Structure 1
C-alpha cells in the first residue's frame, strides 16, 4: 500500500502533472511491487510564497522546478528497495519530463500495516 503526495509550484500543464504521476506509479511498481490498481496519488500546487525549499541544502543546487514527493507506505521494504525506488523515480522524471535529478526530493514515511483504513471504516491490513 502506498499514498503519494506531490508538491510543486503552480504553472505546470495537466500533461506534465499526469506524467509525474504515471512515472511515480511505474517506479513504485518496479521497485516496491505494488498490488494492481494501488495508485493513490495527489498533486498539490503552490504559489511561490507557499513553496519554500533549501536552494543548496547538502550542496545540491535546486531550482523552482523542484518536485517534492512524499510517499507513505508499509514498513516492509529493505534499504536496497528504497534506494532503488529513489533512483528509479529520479531517472524516470529526468528521462520523460526533463526534471533535473537535483530537483527530485523524496520523503518516504513508513507506517505499520494497521495504520491504514482504505474505506468502510475498516483496518483492512490489521
Structure 2
C-alpha cells in the first residue's frame, strides 16, 4: 500500500489530473501487486518556480508537464519497480501526451511497523491487515 505523492506544475484541468492519478494507480496495482482499492494518493500543484527538477547531468530538459512521483512503500523487487516506472511513463505518454523525459520517480521503502491507518494502531502488526 504505497502512499503516492504526485507533484505537478499548475495549469492542468481536473480531468487531466484525475486521469494521471488513475493511470498511476492502475499501474501500481498491476506491477507492484497492491490490492484493488488500496489507493492513497496526494496530488500537489505548484507554481513553476516551486519545482526545480534538473537533469543531474543526463541531458534531460523538463517542460511545464513535469511530473514527480514519490512513493513510500513496502520493499518491492527491482523488477517490479522497473516495470512500474516503464508502464507509468508509457501510459502517461500514450494517454496524456506527457513526454517520457518529464516523468521522475522516487521510491522510499519502509516496513510494516511504519504504517498506522487509523485509531493509533499498527494494523500490519496486530493482524487486522
**Which residue number corresponds to residue 43 of structure 1?**
43
How many residues align structurally? 125
Deviations 1:52-95 (A, max 9, x none): 121574222221210011111101x2111111010011011111
Distance 1:49 1:62, change over 3 A: closer
Taking structure 1 as the reference length, the TM-score comes to 0.94
Taking structure 2 as the reference length, the TM-score comes to 0.92
Unaligned runs of at least 5 residues, structure 2: none
How far residue 48 of structure 1 moved from its aligned partner, in angstroms, is 1.7
* Structure 1: 4+ residue segments shifted above 6 A: none
Unaligned runs of at least 5 residues, structure 1: none
How far residue 35 of structure 1 moved from its aligned partner, in angstroms, is 1.1
> What is the root-mean-square deviation of aligned Cα atoms in Å?
1.2
Matches within 5 A, 1:10-29: 10-29=10-29
Distance 2:37 2:77 in 1: 23
Q: Secondary structure at the match of 1:36?
A: coil
